[in-house]
Amino acid sequence: MPRDDIVNLAARRSLFYPSAEIYPNSPSGFWDFGPDGETIRRKIIEFWRNELVEKEGFVEIYGAQILPEAVFKASGHLESFNDPITQCAKCNSLHRADKLIEEKTKENVPESLPTKDLDKLIEKNQITCPKCRGRLGEVRKFNMMMGLDIGATGQQRCYLRPETCQTIFLNFNRIYKTMRQNLPIGIAQAGCSFRNEIAPRNTLLRERELGQMEIEVFFDPQKIDEVPDFDYVSDYLLNLWLLDEKKLVKVSCSDAVKKKIVSGKTVAYYLARVQQLYANYGIGIDKMRFRQLDKDEKAFYAAETWDFEVETDLGWIELIACNYRTDYDLKRHSKVSNTELSVSEDGRKFFPHVFEISAGIDRTMYVLLDHTFRKEKRGAEERIFLALNPRIAPYLAGVFPLVKKDGLLELAKNLTAEIRNYYLDAFMDEKGSIGKRYARADEIGIPYAITIDYQTKEDNTVTLRERDTMEQKRIPLESLPETLWKMKHGKLKFSSL
């Protein structure tokens, strides 16, 4: 759906909005999430936790967001987490050189391109300052990490982590030992990362403080093809956008392995699980792809990188980087920290290899809003609703007393409490016409609306309305909590009520 529709809805219902917006000149790229937005954001994480982390038997950790400089010396961020920037000689505004070139040429500029080559491209394409048309200065590298000094004399240089995965590498050895398991083991983390972007934009798509949910799977490289559950996905079709063919091809996991499109079964299996996760969130299969990254595009340590992308009104948006990071990270941290991080299994001592699934939380939210936004003409009127997965919707049900008097308000209050008692999210709304209350609930994706009316007092039934079809059914009051629980978890359908 058009970006403007999403931004308008977000502003109107306070799903998300610029942080510190009451202060003029607050820095851009920071977003706050209002009540319903916060809930959607949280449920996106819970969904990932339930459907991927727990089902795969991964464990989840929670690490400090500030890490000492040594960590980023080892990881390479201190040296190479840079953006190429150029400053206008006339108005002094700063710009991402690669993005300016991409906008002009409509061609991809590899991250690794030297600054001199960028200078040449700017000259060749006669690119000037987008603000004032002034001449652009020499391209230089700008490190995007946010540094800060810890201690009263500022004696310890630290950085806000630019990605959540470093904590996972630092914790690997301890977790490996504590878990009493052999490889493969998967360690997950959901949290914030921080990047001093030159030009934050498109709301949740390019932020300075961003939510990530990352998984690092540590495995024995000699056993990359030993995946016990591979049979479940061997016929599953991956949407792969292949470099060689320059197009999207549907390839089964087993074929991807056989044809050596991927490095092994471990990679194919997790690509399948990612695709399934996003299908379960509610994204159509035909709107997603794994884009194979070129040598120039992928990180230098990655043997193989697939960007999981979803098509939106703004084009294909990268939601997840799937990186086969080899043993780069553990080896580096082992060396720089002078700590033994290799493991001994099968009589061999080696550094585990890592397959990374690094997903954006806020980007996932944006894309889910884009994909579930519906505008329907109904005669003269227009209906807006979010066709959100019931497990992602901010509430499962709204309870609406027809009027406040004659005991209907009390009935509604009790029912709301009863539904909550089942640890289901419900809210009560007693203000305005029933039609307006439906419209307000639709707009933030509430799957079910329950109306308490005079008949409820007579026969203990209520009207249950389904968001997407607007169909209504009379349901016995006392069966509601269980019915809702089952519908939320896909164990029962509204149509079979």
Can you tell me which of 1, 9, 66, 299 binds a second copy, judged by CB under 8 A? 66
Q: Choose the stretch contacting a second copy; rule: CB under 8 A; options: 19-27, 259-267, 290-298, 378-386.
A: 19-27
Q: Is the dihedral of CA 208, 209, 213, 214 positive or negative?
A: positive
Can you tell me which of 1, 7, 9, 59 binds a second copy, judged by CB under 8 A? 59
- Could you give the C-alpha distances from 105 to 47, 87, 94, 102, 209, in angstroms and in order? 39, 20, 20, 5, 29
Residue (of 231, 204, 222, 183) closest to 57 by Cα position: 183
Structure-token match 């809930």, residue found: 39
Q: Choose the stretch contacting a second copy; rule: CB under 8 A; options: 168-176, 222-230, 368-376, 398-406.
A: 168-176
Q: Choose the stretch contacting a second copy; rule: CB under 8 A; options: 59-67, 129-137, 256-264, 346-354.
A: 59-67
Helix (H, G, I), strand (E, B) or coil at 357: strand
Total chain residues near a second copy (CB under 8 A): 75
Residue (of 301, 311, 236) closest to 274 by Cα position: 236
Residues 39-58 that bind a second copy (CB under 8 A): 39, 41-42, 50, 54-55
CA dihedral 379, 385, 390, 396 (to 10 degrees): -90
Residues 123-152 that bind a second copy (CB under 8 A): 142, 146-148, 150-152
The CA angle 272-56-166, to the nearest 5 degrees, is 90
Question: CB count, 10 Å around CB of 103?
Answer: 12
Whole-number Å distance between alpha carbons of 395 and 245:
44
Residue type, 294: D
Q: Choose the stretch contacting a second copy; rule: CB under 8 A; options: 29-37, 102-110, 217-225, 301-309.
A: 29-37
Min separation Cβ 336 and a second copy, Å = 8
Whether 76 and 332 have beta carbons less than 8 Å apart is answered as yes
214 - beta bridge partners?
189, 358
Can you tell me which of 9, 30, 102, 255 binds a second copy, judged by CB under 8 A? 30
How many whole angstroms from its chain centre is CA 119? 34
Alpha-helical regions (H) of 138-262:
165-179, 230-233, 253-258
Residues 407-466 that bind a second copy (CB under 8 A): 420, 423, 431
Site string for a second copy, 323-362 (x = CB under 8 A): ----------x--xx-x-x---------------------
- Could you give the C-alpha distances from 202 to 97, 118, 345, in angstroms and in order? 18, 24, 47
Question: CB count, 10 Å around CB of 449?
Answer: 23
Can you tell me which of 44, 71, 267, 450 binds a second copy, judged by CB under 8 A? 71
Helix (H, G, I), strand (E, B) or coil at 339: coil
Can you tell me which of 1, 9, 13, 303 binds a second copy, judged by CB under 8 A? 13
Q: Choose the stretch contacting a second copy; rule: CB under 8 A; options: 38-46, 213-221, 293-301, 465-473.
A: 38-46
Residues 184-203 that bind a second copy (CB under 8 A): 192, 194, 196, 198
303: region left, alpha or beta (phi > 0 left; psi from -120 to 50 alpha): alpha
Can you tell me which of 5, 7, 56, 60 binds a second copy, judged by CB under 8 A? 60
Min separation Cβ 239 and a second copy, Å = 28
For position 160 contacting a second copy by CB under 8 A, the verdict is: yes
Q: Choose the stretch contacting a second copy; rule: CB under 8 A; options: 13-21, 285-293, 297-305, 344-352.
A: 13-21
Residues 211-250 that bind a second copy (CB under 8 A): none
Structure tokens at 351: 């550094």
Min separation Cβ 420 and a second copy, Å = 7
Beta strands 448-452 and 397-401, pairing class: parallel
Whole-number Å distance between alpha carbons of 422 and 427:
13
Structure tokens at 491: 């164990």
Residues 73-112 that bind a second copy (CB under 8 A): 85, 94
Structure tokens at 341: 């991080």
Q: Choose the stretch contacting a second copy; rule: CB under 8 A; options: 169-177, 230-238, 314-322, 452-460.
A: 169-177
Whole-number Å distance between alpha carbons of 240 and 263:
14
Q: Choose the stretch contacting a second copy; rule: CB under 8 A; options: 14-22, 265-273, 349-357, 472-480.
A: 14-22
Can you tell me which of 6, 10, 44, 67 binds a second copy, judged by CB under 8 A? 67
Whole-number Å distance between alpha carbons of 113 and 96:
13
Q: Which CB, 201 or 474, lies closer to a second copy? A: 201
Can you tell me which of 101, 136, 158, 369 binds a second copy, judged by CB under 8 A? 158
Q: Which CB, 62 or 300, lies closer to a second copy? A: 62
Q: Which CB, 35 or 476, lies closer to a second copy? A: 35
User: Any idea how long the chain is?
Assistant: 497
Residues 263-292 that bind a second copy (CB under 8 A): none
Q: Choose the stretch contacting a second copy; rule: CB under 8 A; options: 28-36, 116-124, 306-314, 320-328.
A: 28-36
Whether 224 and 353 have beta carbons less than 8 Å apart is answered as yes
Can you tell me which of 1, 3, 7, 38 binds a second copy, judged by CB under 8 A? 38
Q: Which CB, 23 or 496, lies closer to a second copy? A: 23
